[in-house]
Amino acid sequence: MGQDDVESIRRMAGLATPIALRVAVTLALPDRLVGQGVRVDELADELGVAPVALDLLLAHLATLGIVEPIGSGYRTTEYGANLRADAGNGLVDLLHLDAAGGRSELAFVELAHTVTTGRAGYPRRYGQDFWADVAEHPRLRESFDRQMNHRLREEIPKLVAGVDWSRFGSVVDVGGGRGALLAAILAAHPRLHGHLLDLAPTATHARRAFEAQGLADRAQVTEGSFFDPLPPGADAYLLVDILHDWDDAHAHRILDRCLEAMRPTSRLLIIEPIGDFRATPEFNLAMLVMYGGRERRLEEFRTLTAPHRLTLDTVVDLTDQRCLLEFRPTDDR
C-alpha cells in the first residue's frame, strides 16, 4: 500500500470535517457571517462559546471553502451559503444536531453494535427508538416532516405521472406526511378521492394544506398510526417510504393493517427505493443504523408479502431514487 492510499483512507476516515459542518450549521455560522463578516471575538461573545475553539473551527471551515478570512474575522462564501437556513435545499434539517436528521446520523457511532446485533444504533445512543424520540419532541417531528417534504418535493411530478391513478376512485395514503404527494395526485385527477392517515401533528399540517389548495372536499384526513386499523374499502392503499423504515416484524404489522382494510379488488402500492437497484449501500446502512430498517430487494419484498397472500403484479421504475411495486390480494386470502 502506497502513501497515497494511506492518505486517501485517512481522509475518508476523518471525523473532523463532517462534525465541523454539523456544528457550523447548529451554530448558524453561515447565517451569522454574511455580508462583511464578523470578528471572531465578537461572534464568540454573541454565541457564548470559547473564542479560541471557535477560531479553530472557522479556520477548518475556511479550508473547506465554507467561510473565508477577512480582517480579524470570517465571512460566508458563496459556496458556504448553501448551508444557510434560507437556502431551501434541505441541508440544515439534515445536518443540524438538534434536528431529526442531524441527531439521527450521530447513531452511526453505534455502528459496531448494529453490525453485531442487526438492530438499530439509535436506541443504544438515545435510550429509545427514533419514532419514540420524534413523538416526544415536537421540534424533531417538525424538522423530520420538513426533511421528508424536501426529499419528495422534486420527485412528486414523476410520481404523479408515472402511475395510472385514474384507475382508482379512492386512495388511502398511509403515513402520507403533510400531504404534498396526495394533493398533487388529486389535483391531476379531479374525480379521485383521497384519504391521508398520519400522526396528529403531521395530519394537522396535511389538513391545512388540502384546505389551502381547495381539495378539502376530496381529501379526508385521519389522525392515527399505521399500526392501528386503517380506513377501509379504498381502491388503493399507498405506502411511500414507509416499509424501509422498519424491520420485518413491524413491516408485517403494517401489511396486516393494509390487508384488513383492502377489498379483494384493492391494490397495494409501495413506492420506495429497491435494494441493489435504486438504493446505495451507504443509504441502506443509514436506514439500518437509524431505524432498524433497510432497502429490501425484490425477492425480499416477495418473501415479506407472501404470508399476507399478496401477489406482485407490477414493478415500475418511477425516478432515479424510487420504484413502484403494485400488489394485489390473491383470490384465496
Q: Which residues of 181-217 are buried (b: 16+ CB within 10 A; e: fewer)?
A: bbbbbbeebeebbbbbbbbeebbebbbebbeeeebee
Question: What are the helix (H) ranges across the chain?
Answer: 3-13, 16-26, 29-32, 40-47, 51-63, 91-95, 100-105, 111-117, 122-126, 130-136, 138-153, 156-161, 180-188, 200-212, 248-261, 281-291, 298-305
The residues facing 279 across adjacent strands are 275
Residue 199 CA to residue 188 CA, distance in Å, equals 26
Answer positive or negative: Cα dihedral of 121, 122, 126, 127.
Answer: negative
3-state helix, strand and coil shares in percent for the chain, rounded to the nearest 5? 55, 15, 30
Longest CA–CA separation in the chain, Å = 77
Instruction: Please give the Cα distance from 260 to 263 (Å, whole number).
Output: 8
For residues 21 and 33, give the distance between their C-alpha atoms in angstroms, rounded to a whole number: 15
Distances (CA, A) of 215 to 70, 149, 183: 52, 19, 7
Active site residues per annotation? 244
